[in-house]
Amino acid sequence: MVAVTRMVVRRLLIGVFVMWGAASVIFVIVRAAPGDPAAVFLGPDADKEQIARLTAALGLDKPLFEQYVRYLGDVLRLDFGESYRLGRPAMEAVFERLPATIDLTLTATAVAVAVGLALGLVAGSRPGGAVDRVVSAVTIALQSFPTFWVGIMLVLTFALGLRLLPSAGVGTPAHLVLPAVTLAFPFTAIVARLTRSSVAEAMREPYVQTARSKGLSERQVLLGHALRNSLIPVVTIVGLQMGALMGGAVIVENVFAWPGLGSLVVDAVANRDYAVVQAVTLLIAGVVMVLNIVADVLYVRLDPRIRTEVAS
């Protein structure tokens, strides 16, 4: 366990470094962007004097390095300043939108893991069989469709055609179905491919032979032995895919007018609301980093073989 603790500490230190780097990248992009932030903040009616006063108030007349140090301090305090469009602290707006994105990504993850495990299991139990080939074709398609188009096609079919589900917005659990399924599409394929290959691999292992020879049914062998071991890589891939999942959410939220971080950040980018852009991007980077570490730790905890490896 000491070894695992050491691993966590090491990962956290790297994480702090990565967050510093991420904050710096955002600083560079925002500062390199054309347009005077103070002028943007005040709008087209502001006169020169007002702009100069705000520039001084925001510290934008200071040397770049001083601005950078001040910015890092602000990041540490999670203070990204006022959003000029919303008229309140950017972080406040961001935290308000966070729950909707969490709902969406968690539901999508659950859908992707459930469907992906099932597909991977039936495909992997008989590698090369007809089912395997069909699943393989399905996963290629799932991964290749652009998510925003999938969303629109689902709306066309289930909201406008069959009138089963709402096409956009929030309110009832039914509103969550289409966005979550859309977001789950590529991740279902990833989980299915991974499960398929690890189940197929496990089926060749001696312990599966043992399970068979002691008279267990094929079903028991699959679920009790082959699947159990295949779950470990799935945990890791889900953790590693969190970044891509958040990226997918940014697009899917815009298809369904889902009031999460994704629709907030696209709106902020389009309107040069840099306070919100910085707050959202760094929050997402932080969340993704923490989830990656959690997945790593879970991986080590779940698999005794790796636990010994880390310890030695």
Binding mask 256-285 for another protein (x = CB under 8 A): ---------xx--xx-x-x--x---x--xx
The site map against another protein for 107-126 (x = CB under 8 A) is ----------------x---
In angstroms, what is the minimal distance from the CB of 197 to another protein?
A: 4
Beta carbon nearer to another protein, 19 or 78: 19
Q: What phi and psi values does residue 82 have, to the nearest 5 degrees?
A: -80, 140
Q: Which two tokens stand for residue 112?
A: 């992707």
Q: Are 97 and 260 in contact (CB under 8 A)?
A: yes
Q: How many CB atoms lie within 10 A of CB 188?
A: 26
Amino acid at 261: L
Pairing label, strands 82-83, 88-89? antiparallel
Report d(CA 306, CA 312) in Å as an integer. 10
Site for another protein in 157-216 (CB under 8 A): 160, 190, 193-194, 196-198, 200-201
Q: Rule CB under 8 A: say whether 78 interacts with another protein.
A: no
Which residue type sits at 273?
A: D
Write down the H helix ranges in 160-260: 174-202, 206-213, 218-220, 227-240, 242-255
Q: How many CB atoms sit inside 10 A of residue 88's CB?
A: 11
76 near another protein (CB under 8 A): no
Q: Which residue lies nearer to another protein by CB, 50 or 136?
A: 136
Binding site for another protein (CB under 8 A): 14, 17-19, 21-22, 24-26, 29-30, 32-34, 123, 127-128, 132-133, 135-137, 139-141, 143-149, 152-153, 155-156, 160, 190, 193-194, 196-198, 200-201, 233, 236, 240-241, 243-244, 246-248, 250-251, 254-255, 265-266, 269-270, 272, 274, 277, 281, 284-285, 288-289
